[in-house]
Chains A and B, each alone.
Chain A
Amino acid sequence: MSRRDVFLQVARRGGSFLSLLKKLWQHPKGRIGLILVGILVLVAVLAPVLAPYDPYDVTQRAAKGLRPNWQHPLGTTITTGQDIFSMLIYGSRVSLMIGVSTGLALAFLGALMGVMAGYIGGFADNLIMRIVDVLLVIPTLPLIIVLTNLLGRSYFVIVLVFVAFGWTGLARVIRSLVLVLKNSNYVKAAELAGASRWYIMTKHILPGTSHLIIMNTTLTCAGIMVAEAGLSFLGLGDPTAISWGKMLAEAQGGGALLFGAWWWILAPGAGIFLAVFSFMRIGIVMEEIFNPRMKASSSIYKIFKHLNNTYLDEVFRSMEDEEADESTEQPDRSNAPLPGGCHD
């Protein structure tokens, strides 16, 4: 089975967003992910109600370095006596906000670039793929550090920088899918019927790629959350907000390791883990729903590339490229049926 057939089969499985949620809920692993994300959203929204103490209150001298107890479920910091449980609750806001907003913006930009490169082709394709090549060799983390330093330490800047330099992965995937879709019979039929390029792009090509976009966005959210924690850990996040990465940096700077305050390190770590894990679960289950032949292991690479381990992605990129190229060169022999996404 060529990659092209797999793509078309996958495209057919995409349904409306609601039916996707339903499928996710019916999948036992997906249900766990959905519940966890739901809890995370609730915690982030209701943070002021849920937090037992003011996490910004740094004047609790009597409560410094308390171990987890009934008053302070996760203990307090040893430097200023802030309640770690409250900090953890407030920290979820930053992770969720950055993760989701970057994920959505990336999905938009990546899909736009991918569809333009794949469908318009020619000069646009060349230009976009050259930009991708350049962005791939520039070391991402140093560049992000430089830019956050230049443009100011706010979360808006972080999102902006993540979006500006993170769209290459999605654009590549979308491009190779669009190259397949472009040669399918229904797009050719639309072209013959005199449909404009814009119409075909928005009505035929984009719906065909929607499943990939949704799936990638979920996995990107997870990857960005890890990356954001790293940036905050380096002290490049918003200095006025509480985030899990910053909590870890404060813990290290405040001597949590030296004085054995394990609760100060474990709590934010567990927060990052749960948030990333739940988004990843959903992404992996989505991949299983869309493409039952593909096993969960393959989707893990999509997250790896948002971490520092770009090299792992590199291995598969080279393999995927060849497959995609082979499949696009094949003439369109089979009667490709309409992808399900088109009916929505």
Chain B
Amino acid sequence: MKRSYVIKRILYAVFIFFVVLTLNFFIPRLGVRDPAERYYPPQGAMSEIEYEIIKQFTREQYGFDVSTFQQYIRYLQGLAHLDLGSSLRPGSPRVTELIGQRLPWTLVLSVSTLIISLIIGLLFGTLAAWKRGRWQDTALLNASTISVALPAFFIALMLSFYLGFELELFPAYTNPNMVAEFDWSWKSIQVVLNNAALPIMSMSLGGIVGYSQSTRNSVIAVTNEDFVITARAKGLSHTTVLYKHVLRNAMLPLATSIGMSISGLIGGAIIIERVFNWQGMGTLFLEANSTNDYPLMMGIMLFLSSFAILANLVTELFYAILDPRVTVGDKR
């Protein structure tokens, strides 16, 4: 791998990061009015001077005593110490702390969704490609069409209704004490798995179908390559060709997509978390949004986008290692 390519990609990622950072700072701030006006509307009993003092005090408390640009500089300085500021919630908890509390719970959902959909998707996709044009392939195509037209939250509602309320197999809503009572004991892990079953199922469905489709197409594309035809011509058995030649190459784009998948899944879990009231990043974001807690919103958005940038970068570099052709010409 060329060193210049690596440096170029890293510099570009840093550039994108700064653009995103700036957007993240200014977009949520568009809706923020002067906190002094917001929290202390003029009151009759207060004298003019007292009122001014309390307003000034509030502005300083929320960092609004300086111009927006200076606030931006301050934000950057804080960021250099990995400090995303403090939330507007009572007790002003640090944003990083809040994200740290909720992130593992979202990761439980997104990572298991990813693993499940990858495994099942690979199986189904290879089967469909192998039986190309037969009923297995058609069934997969129909399943994809149907699953795309059904929103994940509708599937979640139906699962919650039938498996949760009617059959009582799994809890239809997340146990509100789950997070507080978690202590790594086997019993509490069981509770988590039980509660996570329905959210994971509803999130996986789209992923399974998507990965099956992409595996299918990728396998078919590889099957038509010269080296596979050569392998066949050499008289190798079907299974050897499938495992050693086709699948290994077909999995390359899938393997490199994992990073982006996780970042997409964390951001995409918002609606599913809302359906089951799962205490993850998604519900944290919705809470922040409904209370106009802009430092928290900014923090979550920045976290998600930096994750995506990092995943993108790692994927690109990883891909360059696996496929040296990429580094030869500038891809963009």
Contact = CB atoms under 8 A, between A and B. Distances in A.
Nearest to A125: B332
B154 A272 contact: yes
Interface stretch (A10-18, A78-86, A229-237): A229-237
Contacts of B325: 322
A258 interface: yes
B158 A265 contact: yes
Given A257-B172, A297-B144, A230 B153 contact: yes
Interface in A247-262: 248, 251-252, 256-258, 260, 262
Interface string A271-284: 01100110011001
B54 to A, nearest CB: 27
B153 A248 contact: yes
Interface stretch (A60-68, A104-112, A131-139, A209-217): A131-139
A198 interface: no
Interface string A23-42: 00000000000000000000
B174 to A, nearest CB: 14
Given A297-B217, A318-B319, A304 B256 contact: no
Interface stretch (B44-52, B235-243, B270-278): B270-278
B286 A269 contact: no
A335 interface: no
A258 B149 CA distance: 26
A303 B148 contact: yes
Interface string B141-183: 1001110111111100110110011100000100000000000
B63 interface: no
A320 B155 CA distance: 31
A143 B27 contact: yes
B267 A139 contact: yes
Given A134-B20, A145-B285, A314 B172 contact: no
B31 A309 contact: no
B226 to A, nearest CB: 14
B297 interface: yes
B145 A149 contact: no
Given A149-B31, A301-B213, A143 B158 contact: no
Contacts of B216: 297
Given A134-B16, A233-B271, A272-B154, A143 B161 contact: no
A284 B145 contact: yes
Given A139-B304, A265-B158, A322-B326, A298 B217 contact: yes
B267 A140 contact: yes
Contacts of A276: 148-149
A248 B305 contact: no
Contacts of B264: 308-311, 314
B3 interface: no
A222 B150 CA distance: 11
A273 B150 contact: yes
B219 to A, nearest CB: 12
A272 B151 contact: yes
B301 interface: yes
Given A133-B16, A280-B148, A309-B206, A146 B253 contact: no
B30 A150 contact: yes
Main secondary structure, interface of A, reads helix
A46 to B, nearest CB: 24
A280 B149 contact: yes
A321 B271 contact: no
A336 interface: no
B234 interface: no
A312 B211 contact: yes
B268 A252 contact: no
B257 A315 contact: yes
Interface in A290-304: 295-298, 300-301, 303-304
Nearest to B147: A300
Interface in A64-108: none
A310 B267 CA distance: 10
Contact of A260 (B19, B157, B166): B166
A278 to B, nearest CB: 9
Contact of B253 (A138, A296, A319): A319
B331 A325 contact: yes
Contact of B160 (A257, A316, A322): A257
Given A142-B300, A260-B166, A277 B145 contact: yes
Contact of B268 (A138, A258, A277, A309): A309
A226 interface: yes
B145 A312 contact: no
B257 A149 contact: no
B192 to A, nearest CB: 22
Contacts of A280: 145, 148-149
B329 interface: yes
A85 B148 CA distance: 24
Contacts of A140: 267
Contacts of B247: none
Contacts of A308: 152, 264-265, 267-271
A130 B262 CA distance: 23
Nearest to A318: B253
A51 interface: no
B195 interface: no
B295 interface: no
A344 to B, nearest CB: 31
Given A276-B149, A318-B257, A325-B331, 7 more contacts: A143-B27, A230-B153, A265-B161, A272-B149, A308-B265, A308-B269, A319-B218
17 contacts: A138-B20, A139-B308, A141-B271, A142-B304, A145-B285, A150-B30, A229-B151, A234-B271, A257-B165, A265-B161, A272-B150, A273-B146, A301-B210, A304-B210, A309-B206, A311-B262, A315-B214
